[in-house]
Structure 1
Amino acid sequence: MKNCKIYLIRHGQSLGNLNRLYLGHTNLDLSEEGYRQAEITADFLKDVDFDLIYSSDLLRAHNTAVPHAKMRNLDIIDSIELREIYLGDWENKEIEYLIENHYNDFVIGWKDNFGTFTVPGGESVIGAGKRFFNKVSEIAKLNMGKTVLITAHAAVIRVFWALISNVKPENIATEVQFPTNASYSIIEFDEEKFIPGEYSCDSHFNSKPIQTV
């Protein structure tokens, strides 16, 4: 049986990115620039013959998938299991607030020890990544021989990539970066394992998209 090929796309710039907010499950939409980025990525991938489109149920991810769906007359299958990490006490908080009020957790924990960190009142980074991994695995097994698009979020894509690349949790912070806004990553699934391809491809933009979570 042929492999399942998956394109993972991080959402375009969100209103949270624009305003330097950490969103997690907070359901803000794309910014005007985010909609532009989504269209550019969709146009760049217009010749990819996607069979199905899945998305996190959060607006910023779902609306990143819309241009791809319209091009191909496909429905978008939303899933809560493809959501970003739940940020608990940090939901919808400004980066500056987190630095000022949660310095040790935010800078030393989240930034420097990302893979082993648990957000106060929220999910563990690895727990969120495994949740995402399990859903992507389910999707892949259901769609062998097909090409699938999944739109999702920076932190869970980052951890997923580390898991399939055999990067230890304690090394994620230095070995795997956050994917950029509206970038795409390519993987294959051969019924037993994921095979990493290209990660966080964004050369189709004239300049680098915003990289904050």
Structure 2
Amino acid sequence: MEHYTVVLTKSDRQILDSYLPVAEGMAEFWGESCEVVVHNLEHLDASVMKIVNGYHSGRQAGAPISEITLSFLNKMLEDPQLRHVTYFAKNRRGETFKASTTAILGENQRIIGLFCINFYLNCSLNSFLHTFVPCSKTEAENISEIFVENTSELMLEALENAKNAVYGNPSISSSNKNKEIINLLYQKGIFNLKDSVVTIAEHLGISKNTVYMHLRNQNK
């Protein structure tokens, strides 16, 4: 793969940029044992565009692509069906990690970058488990997520939760209860769903126009 070059378009750069918060989120989810790297293949000698927890490999943004990553890129370029590779490796300190390299595709399905995850296996069990244990009981109870099979179920579940919150608040007058319910649903983004106004109006026993009126007031 001599002299591999790719000239990025504006769209390509936007695609690569979209992976930067993904790298942050992935590293935060898996904890300090997880190194995440976004490579920009426009300049292989400084391909590391973003790296989180880079102390594992001693790299920082602007570092060159590694030999093993370069070899996987070569295989991906030779085989259009190959777009991700998972493997085990060791860093220069002899620490074993499980790695994943995934192609980032730009315009015309060109490989414009690589998204790499390196999870170091020498972390203590206590450290690993600490990442997945809430710091406090309050933190664990603050968010409740219920998975549903369709958007109708999602809307009705959200509506039921909003009604319970509003009806359980004696400071909200009867005349303002529907308004507050719609306010809660708006804050949760329920009205971004298709047919949400119709569904909520029917189950609250009010007109669509009333729902729209309350929504307009949210934006004032």
Fold shared, TM-score > 0.5 on shorter chain: no
Greater helix proportion: 2
Q: TM-score, normalised to structure 2's length? A: 0.27
Q: TM-score, normalised to structure 1's length? A: 0.27
The structure having more radius of gyration, on CA atoms, is 2
Greater RCO structure (CA 8 Å; 6+ sep): 1
